[in-house]
Amino acid sequence: MQHDKILIVDFGSQYTQLIARRIRELNIYSEIHPFNKVPSNLDDYKAIILSGSPMSVRSEAAFHIDLNEIRGKKPLLGVCYGAQYLAHFHGGEVGASSTREYGRANLSFIQEDPFLEGIEVGSQVWMSHSDTIKRLPENSVLLASTHDVQNAAYKMEGEMTYAIQFHPEVYHSTDGKKLLENFLINIAHVTADWTPDSFVEETVEKLQNQLGEDRVVLGLSGGVDSSVAAMLLHKAIGKNLYCIFVNNGLLRKNEFTQVLQQYEGMGLNVKGVDASARFMEALAGESDPELKRKAIGRVFIEVFDDEAHEVKDVTWLAQGTIYPDVIESVSATGGPSATIKSHHNVGGLPDFMKLKIVEPLKALFKDEVRRVGKSLGMAAELLGRHPFPGPGLAIRILGDITPEKVSILQEVDAVFINNLKKWDLYDKVWQAGAILLPVNSVGVMGDERTYEKCVALRAVESTDGMTADWVNLPYEFLQATSNEIINKVKGVNRVVYDISSKPPATIEWE
């Protein structure tokens, strides 16, 4: 089945991926391509969206795109930089704003138009720019204003070209999803039929055509991504999928045994490999976060290579890579966004493995993966599991890794996660974990002075991992959990709670 597709042109905005998320919430498939690598054939795309950017259209270094095959020929929406670009290079004027236009604003004027149908004066929008549109481009009509921004939205007469100075993709724009729906469905006449069920059906067919009778090995982690990837592959190729669950010694308490039992109950062909000693040896004395990640990735691949040789005639390695992994590792689809950190399951394999890669989930965000898993009939308990980093507890232990530190953190993490479940808070949190800090602090226990470890608890809410807010857990819960950790976990005498959001912080500390 051929679905209508939306092309998002990425000019490097931190919000570009959120545009894709918002559109997919409408059951419409969207793709992001950098401004300098726009597909030459646009026939497959029903509409085009120009993203925001950290650049100024007035700068000599401004990012440019040839709109000759787009404007007037395809429905076009310019967002922030995109709106300024359309104005600046088509007879309007863009200049530096006299006031900083950042944060919440409210629409104070709305012109009746299908683009703004169902959106009323007072609707909150999110501004994030230092330039402003001082004069609209030629042949355009003003559609909306705020108190500080006169030209907040406009359209070109005689064509389906619209532009907005605010960001509809962020959740602070209360009617942002409705505005995108108006543009895509009511104006561009896009068919909204990209659903989890259709994704499963089409992906299974694609995998069958791609893999044929080939054998595939897959590394299971116990998390949602690799589990859903496994079930998609299992549905496509059955017995030709060989799953390997590696114990790197950095999993949660008792996780290796529990997860193995769960996978076997799902009908998957799974082999458990305890390689914890091998990982610990590779991490000995290493404290740099990136080097720890790379050491874990290297050993992970080595273990896989060893195990893959045990499977006769294997030709593919499957991975549970999802879209945020790709974005954070290689700047948005090759665009101008910054690299944040490396991911152990992104970036290919060394030549010696001689395996091809298959990544059935690499176009999906985390919440989309869960919906696909539900469509596959997977257990809610498994799909509801919090994300857990590939390098495991190694990046939640700041500094070097030792078996003693791992043991301490496993115990702390177990208390925290179990209490979240007891207090009916687990499903209200997107991700939670504990961090072992590289400091000791003075304490008093039993009238004696102690000098022991400090741990930080972290709980965030998010939809896709691209942005996240800390969760306001009840004081009573934090008090009870802190007391239990200090009383039960030998070596810890202080517990703190992390109340930073992403951005500027990341979800993990390393």
Cα–Cα distance, 165 to 153 (Å, whole number): 6
Cα four-point dihedral sign 444, 447, 451, 457: negative
Q: Could you tell me the strand order of the sheet in which 241-247 lies?
A: 270-274, 241-247, 215-220, 314-318, 356-358
- How many CA within 13 A on the CB side of residue 139? 9
Residue 343 annotated in active site:
no
Instruction: Select which of 3, 80, 368, 510 is catalytic.
Output: 80
For residues 214 and 245, the answer to whether their CB atoms sit within 8 Å is no
Q: How many CB atoms lie within 10 A of CB 91?
A: 13
Residue 169 annotated in active site:
yes
Cα–Cα distance, 344 to 94 (Å, whole number): 43
Cα–Cα distance, 403 to 223 (Å, whole number): 23
For tokens 């000098």, name the residue. Answer: 451
Cα–Cα distance, 460 to 469 (Å, whole number): 5
DSSP state of 240: G
Instruction: Select which of 3, 88, 129, 167 is catalytic.
Output: 167
Q: Where are the beta strands (DSSP E) in 382-474?
A: 431-445, 448-461, 469-470
For tokens 């993709």, name the residue. Answer: 169
Residue 167 annotated in active site:
yes
Instruction: Select which of 88, 129, 169, 368 is catalytic.
Output: 169
Residue type, 439: V
Cα–Cα distance, 47 to 187 (Å, whole number): 10
For tokens 């919000």, name the residue. Answer: 15
Cα–Cα distance, 497 to 457 (Å, whole number): 5
Q: Of 485, 456, 459, give the one whose Cα is nearest residue 472.
A: 459
Q: How many CB atoms lie within 10 A of CB 155?
A: 24
- Show which residues are catalytic: 80, 167, 169
